[in-house]
């Protein structure tokens, strides 16, 4: 799995129990499909899934930056920039 998508999958694992089924659907896509890159992955998202990622990724990117995990912040930001 591409590194960027691996970071996204790890991030989504924190949302599986406390939210709607949307994070589970996204997580399942990451597990079951083989995407060449994050662009291909984003193309297969529904509007609901995009909206969910649009809500959580800014928070997750800020958290990574506060923890001085620049690599994680950069990887998550790559997905975030592709949403729209």
CB 53 within 8 A of CB 12: no
Size of the chain in residues: 84
The answer, as to whether pTM is greater than 0.85, is yes
Confidence of residue 84 (pLDDT cuts 50, 70, 90): confident
Cα angle at 35 between 24 and 50, to 5 degrees?
45
Task: State pLDDT tens for residues 14-71.
Answer: 999 876 899 999 999 999 999 999 999 999 999 999 999 999 999 999 999 999 999 9
- Other Cβ atoms closer than 10 A to 1: 13
Q: Where are the domains of the chain?
A: 3-82
């Amino acid at each position: 799995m591409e590194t960027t998508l691996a970071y996204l999958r790890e991030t989504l694992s924190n949302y599986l129990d406390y939210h709607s089924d949307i994070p589970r659907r996204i997580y399942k896509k990451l597990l079951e499909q083989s995407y060449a890159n994050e662009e291909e992955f984003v193309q297969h998202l529904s509007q609901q899934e995009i909206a969910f990622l649009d809500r959580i990724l800014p928070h997750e990117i800020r958290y990574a930056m506060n923890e001085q995990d620049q690599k994680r912040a950069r990887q998550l930001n790559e997905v975030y920039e592709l949403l729209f």
